[in-house]
Chains A and B, each alone.
Chain A
Amino acid sequence: MATTAAPTAAAAVTTAIGKRGGKPGGLVAASEARAGLLFVLPYLVFFVFLQLGALGFAFWVSLHHYDLLALDNPFVGLNNYLKLPGNHDFLIALRNTTEYAVVVVVIQTIAALFFAILLDAKIKGRNFFRSAWYTPSIASSAVISMIFLWVYHPTGLLNGALGLIGIHTNEAWLHDTRFALPALMGLNIWTTAPTFMLMFLAGLQDIPKEVYEAAQVDGAGFFKTIFQITLPLLRPVIFLVVALGIIGAFQVFDQVYIMTEGGPLKSTLSVAYLIYQDLFKDTGTVGIACAMAVVLGIVIFALTLLSRRIIDTKIEY
């Protein structure tokens, strides 16, 4: 290695690393490349086997009539995909999941932005509010689900609170086909909005204060400032929040598994839960589960791209 080089030369060596085939630089570059490949090897293994390989394998399984215990899994081509449009449960799940994702992503994004704008203010106790408001996001989905089983219980917190303002009901929210899915939406918005609130807050704090002052000088009011200054400047963060929201909401599973098991009458059946059922509760449907997962992946990907287009065009002036 470049042990003999003078200090000044060493600086040149490191900046020139990898670029040159020259004597000291070349040696360092070679050892650097070796070290680089060696250091990155753990991820390479992960990538090859558990990401790329798994992706290819998922597609391969989706082309077979696959059973976790069977030795022989016949090739069925695109059959698993072609049968999806006729799969009643899949259609129900896809509709529920889409409905769920649209409502959740829209409301949680707006709520997160609203909270972040409040936190961006110079106000006493700001750090306290930020920490307190973030609490719903640190709890696990399982804990939140168990707490909300109680919130939505006929004599639970929600009906108790409604009773305080004079609305007496013993509605079993999670056992009512009209309310079960919205109940899950509410839970998810409540628990996820604070996460995105932090991202919006970071984005807001990156906006130079001079921009607001200039708007102030120009006589821009609150709404004008929000819609013409804040939102356009936050565009990259908005896209990130919407994209992560879509990816999360379309894979809703934990709450369905714990709270409703897809019921009542499949009103909360989600695609992810259906995939899980086909993987473990039935036999010979693993190929179908994989086909559904691939379709789900494509839907999520397409919607993420679509949201990018919408967000990019909407705020162009």
Chain B
Amino acid sequence: MAISQPEPRLDRPAAVAVRSRRSGRTGDTTDQLGRLESALRYILYAAVTLFLIVPFLLTVLSSFKTSAEVIAYPPTLLPSVWHPENYVRVFQETGNFPRQTFNSFAVTLGIVVINLFFDALVGYAFARLRFPGRDFLFALMLGTMVIPGFVFFVPRYIILQHMPSLGSSGWINTYAALLVLFFVQPSFIFLMTQFFKSIPRDLEEAALIDGLGWFGIFWKIILPVARPALLTVGILAFAGAWNDFLDWVIFMQTPDMFNIQLGLSSFKQVYQNQWDLIMAGSVVAIIPILVVYVAGSRYFTRGIATTGLK
């Protein structure tokens, strides 16, 4: 208490400071101090903002520069000449990049659709249906969420390798590998379960009377009201699948089966002096997730606060 008393509330969290200023009207704070305080506070907020987004802004600007200008010293802020054609070149001059972009979209959308259905179905069962072993299985599911993924890679690789052949090596290097590994995701099941527990039972009771089967109830009654939760899961599943890197390193083998992230990372070896392409490629890889984030930021932030995943 004594610590902050001599220089009042410059560094106090504003929630407290705002309240105290309101009471301060009665006398213990001058307006000048209030103005200084809010100026300092905005400088602090601006500094944090710069720290966290400047690398992205400069990446976008750099993506319009020549490779030499990207790493020029001293650095330039704006491109001396704008080169929007970098974005064409990144698709034309890099072999597999168009295909890799397609792979990312195909697998990501596949995972999203499959997860929306199965995570909701399983979540509904956990939340609303009584069956033997339910609570035990649910507890097990929560337990498995803390097992580090690296423990699973070797056995999953061997299992996929021995699946009935789709490619040269079982399901390795096929879309099927990733779709089967992510067709349900415990954290999203958990999220759906929490949501279903919160909706009133009257809906199902009425439907039961109407003679709708359990799947009918799930499909026609429950899913429509679960839109916010489905959006959250859809967005988080999209983000997870689009940004995934590790699984593609492990389970894919040839460049034509890489995703955009792995393809982009291979620019380091293959086009290592072409910073213009690296910058443009980075921007391309971030755009879809940025669009999803901006469009659904409400659901996004809520989901992260619930599951702690990104």
Contacts and interface: CB of A to CB of B under 8 A. Distances in A.
Interface stretch (A27-35, A84-92, A102-110, A175-183): A27-35
B131 A36 contact: yes
B264 A156 contact: no
B289 A140 contact: yes
Contacts of B244: 140
Contacts of B56: 135-136, 139, 147
Contacts of A123: 14, 41, 45
Given A39-B124, A156-B71, A2 B208 contact: yes
Given A300-B148, A301-B146, A222 B264 contact: no
Contacts, number: 327
B159 A57 contact: yes
Max chain A C-beta neighbours (<10 A), residue from B17, B242, B244, B308: B308
Interface string B269-298: 000000100110110011001100110010
Given A32-B129, A46-B183, A155-B73, A58 B265 contact: no
Interface of A: 1-3, 5, 7, 10-11, 13-15, 17-18, 28-29, 31-37, 39-40, 42-44, 46-47, 49-55, 57-58, 61, 68, 115, 117-118, 120-123, 129-143, 145-151, 153, 155-157, 159-160, 163-164, 170, 190, 194-196, 198-199, 201-202, 209, 212-213, 216, 219-226, 240-241, 243-244, 247, 250-251, 253-254, 257-259, 272, 275-276, 279, 286, 289-290, 293-294, 296-297, 300-301, 304
B159 A118 contact: no
Contacts of A36: 125, 129-131, 134
17 contacts: A10-B208, A14-B204, A31-B214, A141-B261, A142-B265, A149-B278, A157-B55, A157-B58, A199-B305, A216-B19, A222-B12, A225-B13, A240-B308, A253-B246, A279-B154, A294-B151, A297-B148
Interface string B150-191: 111111111101000000000000000000110110100100
A1 B122 contact: no
B262 interface: yes
Contacts of B99: none
- Please give me the 6 A-B residue pairs with the lowest Cβ-Cβ distance, nearest first: A121-B14, A36-B131, A18-B130, A36-B129, A35-B214, A140-B243
Nearest to B6: A221
Contact of B131 (A32, A57, A199): A32
Contacts of B134: 36, 40
Nearest to B189: A43
A289 B150 CA distance: 10
Nearest to A121: B14
Contacts of B224: none
A14 B154 contact: no
B113 interface: no
Main secondary structure of the interface of A (DSSP, over half): helix
A42 B122 contact: yes
A225 B16 contact: yes
